[in-house]
Structure 1
Amino acid sequence: MFKHHGNKRNLRHNLKIASLLSFVAGLVNVAGFLAVQKLTTNVTGHFAFFVDEIFKLNFKQGFIYFLYIFFFFLGSFFSSLLVEFLLRRNEKYSYVIPTAIESIILFGIAVFGKHLIIQNPDFIAYSLLFAMGLQNSLVTKISNATVRTTHLTGLFTDLGIELSQLFFYHEDSFRKKLFVSIKLRITIISFFFIGGITGGIFYSNVGLRVLLIGVMALLLGLLYDRIRFNAFLLQRKYRRRIVQFKSK
């Protein structure tokens, strides 16, 4: 799911990571909005509010909106910097550490969010935007820009374009590629909605602790990858022994 990069990935890998991370993004989006009434998975709306506040000469509030944008950017920058560094040192940790950092951030907000809502609600928004910038950069880099999980505007645009192309392009090879892309986009959108619905249902009972569901999802994703990798190593070792036995 995580460990395959770029051209080594196939549709199955992308569907798995898209399902997991879009679910987490949908969960964070709704939980963050219900907690602090701010969008915490994308910055498009924040940029509009930032410009509006600047024109009103309300620079203090404008600076806060600027920080929302900046922390999403900072998360993306930090994630890419970390992945590039780890790829040169120890490739197997290139996705583990960024995902672990995201999990720690979500865990921290889940545990201390009740107090932060009263004392410093903007810190919640900054933290969640950083985490989502980190996630979006990580999955974009891993999938070679095939998968994006934190916002739906571009996904619905691309989905509309690709669905319209089905009426005009009838070559089997082209239609096969279209169906693959459509399937991936529908998966991302569906799991984003599922994550959002999950966040909305449980937030009314447990508040920001609903983010623990996202933490568990991320950790289970890492565990799944580790189990699969160990199984692959055992299988390869077994095959080598068979080859050695036959050669004797």
Structure 2
Amino acid sequence: MKTRRRLRDPYRSARAIVARRRSAGNDLILATILAGIAGAANAGGFFALGQYTSHMTGYLAALADNVAIANLGIVAISALAVAAFIAGAGFSAILITWAQGHAASRQQYAWPLVVQGVFLGCFSMGGLLTGEVGRIFSLACLCFIMGMQNATITRISGARIRTTHATGIVTDIGIEIGRAICGRLRPGLGVTADRDKLRMMLLLVGAFLAGGVFGAIGFGLTGFLFAIPLAASLLALGLPGVIGTWAR
């Protein structure tokens, strides 16, 4: 009986992490896992495609610059990346909203994770497609995933966390450090740092960096196949909730 219960614990834990009723602890666990996956996919994607696919600021800047000089090839690639990211975010919102109105509502956050896992699996097959077609497919696939992931954790956390948006995370770290310094220098102001938020942001940055190291090394060793364990991680998080929903 105890053995059976132990075997079911990972299943139950996965369902709890993506459940409708949230806790700060579950949010942090999920955000840390997703930040690590985002870092790995971003770094591996750079080595595979020469592009950081979570960096929409860079794509928008490249779009503007190359429109100005009429470099239509770069314009098209940048527009595709931004459109794929937006499409991924939109599709995540559609899935979550659909699930909230159906029997799947208790596990609405599981669905986007499963779809992301499937798309990461598709990305891992990008090396089978040669030339510019394979590169464009892989780029669009990875940007779509990044958009889905960012939108999913944004919905789950009530817009407190964005795992692919390292600029925002680092900005929040700077703000809290600044508040801590002000509190030390001028205690009378009543300004203090939000230590819990600072710890959370530092953890997410650390996860993103660690994931980046994994992605860079993984791509160097296995090529596009480095994405398979990332896809498996997302499916392991999402499938218990999806399977449990349809089993009822």
Q: Deviations over 1:142-187 (max 9, x none)?
A: 110111101211111110011111123469x975x70110011011
User: Quick one: percent identity of the two aligned structures?
Assistant: 26
- Aligned with 1:155: secondary structure? helix
Give the distance between the partners of 1:100 and 1:224, measured in 2 at CA.
10
- Aligned with 1:149: secondary structure? coil
1:207 aligns with 2:223: yes
1:49 aligns with 2:65: no
Q: Quote how far apart the aligned CAs of 1:204 are.
A: 1.2
Residues 18 and 147 of structure 1 are in contact (CA less than 8 Å); yes or no, is this contact kept in structure 2? yes
Give the distance between the partners of 2:113 and 2:100, measured in 1 at CA.
15
Residues 9 and 143 of structure 1 are in contact (CA less than 8 Å); yes or no, is this contact kept in structure 2? no
Q: Quote how far apart the aligned CAs of 1:224 are.
A: 7.7
* Equivalent residue runs for 1:104-183 within 5 Å: 104-110=118-124, 112-120=125-133, 121-169=135-183, 175=192, 178-183=194-199
Residues 35 and 117 of structure 1 are in contact (CA less than 8 Å); yes or no, is this contact kept in structure 2? no
1:36 aligns with 2:49: yes
| Residue type at the aligned position of 2:199 | K
- Normalising by structure 2, we get a TM-score of 0.82
1:65 aligns with 2:81: no
2:106 corresponds to:
92
Question: How many residue pairs get matched?
Answer: 223
- Aligned with 2:196: secondary structure? helix
| Structure 2, gaps ≥5 residues long | 1-16
107 and 82 in structure 1: CA distance in 2 versus 1, 3 angstrom threshold = same
- Aligned with 1:183: secondary structure? helix
> Computing the radius of gyration over CA atoms, which structure comes out larger, 1 or 2?
1
- Aligned with 2:170: secondary structure? helix
1:242 corresponds to:
none
Give the distance between the partners of 1:103 and 1:37, measured in 2 at CA.
22
Give the distance between the partners of 2:240 and 2:69, measured in 1 at CA.
51
Q: Quote how far apart the aligned CAs of 1:118 are.
A: 2.7
2:238 corresponds to:
222
- Normalising by structure 1, we get a TM-score of 0.82
Out of 203, 213, 222, the residue aligned to residue 197 of structure 1 is 213
Residues 86 and 147 of structure 2 are in contact (CA less than 8 Å); yes or no, is this contact kept in structure 1? yes
Residues 87 and 147 of structure 2 are in contact (CA less than 8 Å); yes or no, is this contact kept in structure 1? yes
Give the distance between the partners of 1:174 and 1:180, measured in 2 at CA.
15
2:4 corresponds to:
none
Q: Quote how far apart the aligned CAs of 1:220 are.
A: 3.1
| Residue type at the aligned position of 2:70 | L
Give the distance between the partners of 1:178 and 1:115, measured in 2 at CA.
48
Give the distance between the partners of 1:18 and 1:24, measured in 2 at CA.
10
